[in-house]
Amino acid sequence: MAGGIFDSHCHYDDPAFDEDRFELLDRLLTGDAHPIDRMLHAATDEKSARFGIETAKRYENYYTSVGFHPENADEVPDNYMDILQELYREACEIHKLGAVGEIGLDYHYEGYNKEKQIKMFKDQVRFAVCKSLPVIVHCRDATEDCMKILNEFRPEGVMHCFSGSAETAEEVVKLGMYIGFTGALAFKNNKKSRRSCEAVPLDRLLLETDCPYMAPPPYRGERSDSSMIAETAKVMAEVKGVSVEEIIRITNENACRLFGINRDEEAIFLSSM
């Protein structure tokens, strides 16, 4: 399966790609047989955001976000909002900024700084709303606090790598947000994610890898990359009762709409490749 895929959440700055990063991206994004139409880099800190900005300069069909991940709360400097503003300016200069993210709450590991995470999340959501940008939300073991903040600010955006209940998925959609599913949707016996996917309207679904993590079967346990989204799309198509081609087309359109990508300009670029 080739073409049409938008990987709406990837981390090619991860050390897992140190040996072949740009060879892989060249193969995925350029050339006559490139399998991926578009990618969006999910930034996790300042260094990660700058990687996204520089890589977006390198590839026409690669976009970026800017933001601070909750797991990095203890290392984030006090002037993080000044840094975010500067990253925003730099990304806007190249017209490749799709979102503020990856931001959110993560209470999974012991010793997390709840107060700092909540402050960072609120500050960055407020910034996104002010700049009319969507947010990419990370939420792990923090659903109640996360939903409270989203209900308070009501940003546009996506709940990425969704692992919550169908009921929570419906709440997120009622806020006008999207739901992103990774290769975990295709894990054997992952009935919870499939029920959640079933509850989400087609026009609110996104495909993502969260690579190098969450590789779907038959690649589970391997380093994930964007080409593996085809396997996730097969499961999503089965859940939604439509063709794989329809899932890829709709999720591509959804991501372009959410991240403000002009499809007419993109079509001109892609037809010239």
Is 108 flagged in the annotation as binding?
no
Is 11 flagged in the annotation as binding?
yes
Is 9 flagged in the annotation as binding?
yes
The Cα–Cα gap between 72 and 43 comes to 11
29, part of any domain: no
Confidence at residue 214, expressed as pLDDT on a 0 to 100 scale: 96
52, part of any domain: yes
Which residue bears the tokens 């503003």? 85
Q: Where are the alpha helices (DSSP H) in the chain?
A: 21-29, 46-58, 80-93, 114-130, 143-153, 166-174, 191-199, 229-240, 244-258, 263-271
Which amino acid belongs to residue 221?
A: G
CATH of the domain at 136: 3.20.20.140
Is 74 flagged in the annotation as binding?
no
SS3 178: strand
Is 93 flagged in the annotation as binding?
no
Q: How many CB atoms lie within 10 A of CB 54?
A: 13
In the chain, which residues have pLDDT < 50?
1-2, 264-273
Structural domain of 52: 35-271
The count of domains in the chain is: 1
30, part of any domain: no
Predicted TM-score of the model (pTM): 0.94
Is 210 flagged in the annotation as binding?
yes
